[in-house]
Structure 1
Amino acid sequence: MFSSLVGTINIKRLILAVIGVFVYIVISDYLIHGLAMKNLYQETIFLWRSETDMQAYMPWMFLGQFIIAKFFCILFARGYEGRGAMEGLRFSLLIGPLMVAPNFIQYAVMPLTPSILASWLAFGMLQVVGAGIVASLIYRK
């Protein structure tokens, strides 16, 4: 079944790309949510787990980040044309809206501030572009 999902993808490069994109997501998530947006989250502190609780749930965070990296890279590799970093940018601009659109739903159902939504959208797109560039630099022919 897996081979039918990945087709003619170079598995070695795919694995390396998944690892690279996963590391990029973990680091960029920390920079975005742990540093850049920390003060914004204080405005809605009642919504979030405590720092101690968040640490206890980190394996779930890593699982989600890994799943995103894995399928992001599989989709990237399936359409790979060998055009370098610009291909990563193009892919990111296509898949980025799909990845950040759920933030509008979160905004509709949770009492988030408009500044949190705007930050999630902007940082989310930048993060996806970065992930696409990382994938394109690692998954080369």
Structure 2
Amino acid sequence: MRILTLKNAMNPKSLLITILVAFITVFATDFLIHGVLLAGTYKATASLWRPEAEMMAKMPWMMLGQFLAAAAFTMIFAACVAEKRCMSCTIKFAACMGIFASAGQLMAYAVQPVPGSLVAMWMLAAIVQAVLLGIIVHKVYKPAPITSGAAGK
């Protein structure tokens, strides 16, 4: 039985590269989702959001959040899924991560006056985005080779 630890399970160089690729993926897909696909919905519900200039001023916070989400996704993948090199395992993991991420949108719906159709689109987009992210992370990340000292009792 192999004992899984962060030290023997992750390939640091590949992990850093994959986190950067994952961040770019999240940034780009968020732009497509929110800046293109849902732009009309956001304009129709403009009273619910910050003014665009204020949102742009807070963009570094958005990017930090996207980076942290990409890093967490990638590190959990590297620690728990990558070694299997199984695409169906990756897709299941990613779909679960998408469901986890989308749950917050449903909870927000209970306390914020956003249209249910928008929440449904957010949830669907989160799951699709996570599966796409999983496929990309699966293709980019290369696990560390198993060393003889990694075997457990």
CA distance in 2, matches of 1:84, 1:65: 26
Q: Give the superposition deviation at 1:130.
A: 0.8
Q: Give the superposition deviation at 1:88.
A: 2.6
Q: Amino acid of the residue matched to residue 27 of structure 1?
A: A
CA distance in 1, matches of 2:133, 2:53: 29
Tell me the equivalent position of 2:79: 78
Tell me the equivalent position of 1:107: 109
CA distance in 2, matches of 1:76, 1:70: 10
- Mapping of residues 39-118 of structure 1, within 5 Å: 39-79=40-80, 80-118=82-120
Tell me the equivalent position of 2:7: 7
Tell me the equivalent position of 2:28: 27
Give the structure-1-normalised TM-score: 0.91
CA contact (8 A) 2:14 2:141 kept: yes
Tell me the equivalent position of 2:128: 126
Structure 2 SS opposite 1:101: helix
Q: Alignment identity in percent? A: 34
Number of equivalences = 138
Q: Give the superposition deviation at 1:76.
A: 0.2
Q: Where do 5+ consecutive residues of structure 1 fail to align?
A: none
Q: Where do 5+ consecutive residues of structure 2 fail to align?
A: 144-153
CA-based RMSD: 1.7
Q: Which moved more, 1:104-113 or 1:81-90?
A: 81-90
Structure with the greater alpha carbon radius of gyration: 2
